[in-house]
Amino acid sequence: MDIRILVAAHKPYPMPEDPLYLPVQVGAAGKPPIDPAWARDDAGENISEKNVSFCELTGLYWAWKNLDAEAAGLCHYRRYPGRPGLRLPARGEEKRFLTREDAERLLSKYDLILPKKRHYWIETRESQYAHAHHAEDLRCVEGILAERYPEYLPAWKHMLSTRSGHICNMFVMPRRLFDPYCAWLFEILFEAERRLDISGYSAQDRRVFGFLGERLLDVWVEKNGLTFAETPVVNLEKQRWLHKGAAFLRRKLRGKAREQAL
């Protein structure tokens, strides 16, 4: 099977030699090539200029419109799908990345491949998003679903109530699913872009449409009753869990302060 997994990157970084992985310079519009061997998300039909708010999804859009492959996926220059059964931590060893043979075997049994879920434990996905970003982003998407895809609302509400989910917009899926997923996803995100005023958002929160895409992937999978295999996520850089935990607590306290002020 012709499978290509995009590796979204915005700066120089070592890339896998396995041709399964296709390095893509995201946010490439108006910028010099990082590496002439990499693909660019400003080639052909593209939304490269939206990278500040769509993040790695500008690479996904480029692949949808320009890449000819039987199956496609997305990962990040620091995060890769790991081999099934891989025991973590596993950093820096490409032999631990998902292989073409792994992907073909899993896609012969399941509809798509997803990363192992992240667990929030004390937060629902709705409260985690509200504390980390802007709750109005979620309300905006829910309104769009109610108008255009009401059949997805139960899955949306279920996603918000859960305490775990597949994040980072990482997946591998066959073309028969890839095309309709991208069409559905970008219709919703482009409409949300028209409705949301993000001019006052911080640099982090302006990545809003990438964040919303993460949530919508699980909604689409659940609504369509798709089966999936989960693989470990191989992080090539050390995770700053103490820093992330402190930032989470700060956001949570700020959120409670806002609630009390209303």
Over residues 27-80, the pLDDT tens digits come to 999 999 999 999 999 999 999 999 999 999 999 999 999 999 999 999 999 999
Q: How confident is the model at residue 110 (pLDDT cuts 50, 70, 90)?
A: very high
The model's pLDDT over 201-247, given as tens digits with 9 standing for 90+, comes to: 999 999 999 999 999 999 999 999 999 999 999 999 875 534 444 44
Q: How confident is the model at residue 122 (pLDDT cuts 50, 70, 90)?
A: very high
Residue 95 has pLDDT above 90, yes or no: no
Q: How confident is the model at residue 250 (pLDDT cuts 50, 70, 90)?
A: low
The model's pLDDT over 141-154, given as tens digits with 9 standing for 90+, comes to: 999 999 999 999 99
39's enclosing H/E stretch is: strand 39-40
pLDDT of 260 reads 39
pLDDT of 85 reads 85
Contact between residue 224 and residue 176 where contact means Cβ atoms under 8 Å apart:
no
pLDDT of 241 reads 38
pLDDT of 140 reads 98
Question: Which pTM value belongs to this model?
Answer: 0.90
Residue 184 has pLDDT above 90, yes or no: yes
pLDDT of 94 reads 58
**Can you read off the two tokens belonging to residue 42?**
């400003």
The DSSP secondary structure of 57-122, one letter per residue, reads: HHHHHHHHHH---SEEEEEESSEEEBPTTPPSP--S-GGGBPPHHHHHHHHHHSSEEEEPPEE-SS
Q: What is the mean pLDDT of residues 82-95?
A: 71
Average pLDDT of the chain? 91
pLDDT of 172 reads 98
Q: What is the mean pLDDT of residues 242-261?
A: 46
173's enclosing H/E stretch is: strand 171-174
139's enclosing H/E stretch is: helix 135-148
Q: For 50, which DSSP code? A: G
